[in-house]
Structure 1
Amino acid sequence: MEGHFIVDRHQEDYQEVIQHLKDKGIRITETRKAVIAYLIQSREHPSAEKIYQDLLPEFPSMSLATVYNNLKVLIEEGFVEEIKISNDKTTYFDFMGHEHLNIVCESCGRIADFEDGEMPDLRREVEAQTGYQVTKTQILMYGICPNCAGK
């Protein structure tokens, strides 16, 4: 069951998260493993409700509160980021196993990743200018996706 949602190339990320949580003394349940695996392999930026609905067939006793509790732990440990979009009450979640920017379509709300940004350079520049030690970077860009632009 543990590896069901894991694509081979994501195995390393999955093991890193599990080991980190174990090292911190955080209990590793089957549902926690499933939520972690789901987020790592997801090509979307799912809501808690979507994660819950997609995992429910395999974990019928799991509650939506369990999903939220697992997301809270993963956010606190820096593995998951919340994405809140203006004019949308839903919160979306993104596994941060690699540095990237998120871009949101202002028309349909689709969220895409941009992975070629030079985040380390931006971080160094911000630190040099402000004297802050940057611990986390969250940049959300808006635009019109190709599908909506073509309509």
Structure 2
Amino acid sequence: MDDFHKLLEHAGLRPTSPRIKVLGFLRAHAHEHFSAEQVYRSLASDERNMSLSTIYRVLGQFVEAGLGSAVVIGDGSLVYELNDGRRHYHVMCNACGSIEEFADAEIDARLKEVAAGLKFSVSDPRVMLFGLCAACRDRDMSTKTALPEKPVLRHQPASMPEPGNKPR
């Protein structure tokens, strides 16, 4: 708990009860992605006086302070994750809604090359790939299937497979 207080104060945020609860939730679910509504529903039973608007406000403050990140998913809505300081990218299954993270030094380098070639100063490099995960592809699901209520994260290793090797 003291760790949460220090982390919030270091980010320039006063350690209020809602901020501590939301930070605790995000830390307990590191590398997972949640909408504000999902965070609210998860915390509502513990915190009767915390409204959905409070959750939106706290998540926005976390993103602004660098404690959290907001990721735009396929339908244009946002999911939030704890910012662990590690650059990573996302793949999202159009059928089941699962979100996987991956990091790749070659993509990082190529994005820098492209930006330099365009004389463009990048403030926030984001890459989101959409398609079908292996499980849904194996079940032959359509890409037009509605997204589930909660995106599911399956943690991906820190690097992508070598060309020619199939991802798991």
**Structures share fold, TM-score greater than 0.5:** yes
Give the letter for the 1:61 counterpart.
Answer: N
Alignment of 1:2-151 (within 5 A): 2=1, 17-21=7-11, 24=12, 26-42=13-29, 43-86=31-74, 88=75, 90-97=77-84, 98-115=86-103, 117-118=104-105, 120-151=108-139
Structure 2 unaligned spans of 5+? 140-168
Three-state SS of the structure 2 residue aligned to 1:112 is: strand
Instruction: Name the one with the larger helix percent.
Output: 1
* Displacement after TM superposition at 1:113 (Å): 0.9
Partners of 2:18 and 2:50 within 8 A in 1: yes
Considering only CA atoms, is the larger Rg found in Structure 1 or Structure 2? 2
Q: CA RMSD in A?
A: 2.4
Three-state SS of the structure 2 residue aligned to 1:124 is: helix
Q: Please name the residue that 1:6 is paired with.
A: none
Three-state SS of the structure 1 residue aligned to 2:60 is: helix
Instruction: Provide, for residues 89-123 of structure 1, a one-character-per-residue CA deviation record: whole Å limited to 9, x for no partner.
Output: 642112231211111101122111113x1154245
Give the letter for the 1:94 counterpart.
Answer: E
Give the number of the structure with larger relative contact order, counting CA–CA contacts within 8 Å between residues 6 or more apart: 2
Three-state SS of the structure 2 residue aligned to 1:108 is: coil
Q: Quick one: distance in 1 between partners of 2:10 and 2:121?
A: 23
Partners of 1:123 and 1:134 within 8 A in 2: no
Three-state SS of the structure 1 residue aligned to 2:129 is: strand
Structure 1 unaligned spans of 5+? 4-10
Partners of 2:34 and 2:80 within 8 A in 1: yes
TM-score (norm 2): 0.69
Q: Quick one: distance in 1 between partners of 2:114 and 2:27?
A: 29
Three-state SS of the structure 1 residue aligned to 2:109 is: helix
C-alpha spacing 1:130/1:17, structure 2 compared with 1 (3 Å): farther
Partners of 1:101 and 1:113 within 8 A in 2: yes
Partners of 1:52 and 1:63 within 8 A in 2: yes
Q: Quick one: distance in 2 between partners of 1:34 and 1:126?
A: 40
